[in-house]
């Protein structure tokens, strides 16, 4: 069980917006953020991947893994600690991680997709994706953009995965139905979680 340590207060700053202050306050007091830091992970999102891995045996030593939308890198850290070889990409810079080749660029760019394939050096055993397009605040636009990203990830996964390989996509709420339909059409088996 993960518990929060003593609740911390954040000093107000004139240069920081109230929403930023609230986000920082939540981060400071989030027990999962604290546990991730204690274990040396960069983000609390590692616990979702760990939960899925423990349930389905997703990541094993010696696997070749693509991590799409990798920043800040906790999923790559987790897979590398399990002995996998990872090629990761994100628009944002990602600090180096032992056992991980990190590319900075737009996964949606076909040139970057070719670089990912080259760096991987063969078929992937697993494609991880935690890509979330920037929100515009307009629900329909955000959903369509998330669907497009999900579809592109599935297209790429179908192209690079070995036979019996796996893909794990974390999707923005609202995009899951179209992407699930597409996954059912392209992959032998499919399981929404």
Cα separation of 147 and 181, whole Å? 11
The answer to whether 173 is a known catalytic residue is no
Are 190 and 149 contacting, i.e. CB atoms less than 8 angstroms apart?
no
User: Could you tell me which residues come within 8 angstroms of residue 171 by beta carbon, excluding any fewer than 6 positions away?
Assistant: 146, 150, 179
Active-site residue, selected from the candidate residues 48, 82, 170, 181: 170
Q: Strand 85-90 and strand 64-68: pairing?
A: parallel
Residues taking part in catalysis: 170
């Amino acid at each position: 069980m993960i518990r929060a340590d003593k609740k911390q207060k954040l000093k107000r700053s004139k240069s920081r917006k109230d929403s930023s202050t609230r986000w920082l306050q939540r981060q400071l007091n989030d027990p999962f953020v604290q546990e991730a830091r204690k274990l040396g992970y960069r983000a609390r999102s590692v616990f979702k991947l760990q939960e899925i891995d423990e349930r389905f045996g997703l990541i094993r030593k010696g696997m070749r893994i693509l991590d799409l939308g990798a920043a800040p890198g906790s999923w790559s850290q987790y897979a590398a600690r399990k002995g996998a070889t990872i090629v990761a990409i994100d628009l944002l810079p990602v600090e180096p991680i032992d056992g991980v080749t990190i590319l900075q660029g737009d996964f949606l760019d076909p040139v970057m997709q070719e670089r990912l394939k080259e760096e991987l050096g063969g078929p992937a055993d697993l494609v991880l994706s935690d890509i979330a397009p920037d929100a515009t605040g307009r629900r329909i636009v955000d959903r369509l953009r998330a669907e497009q990203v999900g579809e592109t990830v599935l297209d790429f996964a179908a192209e690079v995965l070995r036979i019996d390989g796996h893909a794990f996509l974390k999707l923005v709420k609202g995009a899951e139905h179209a992407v699930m339909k597409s996954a059912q059409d392209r992959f032998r088996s499919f399981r929404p979680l």
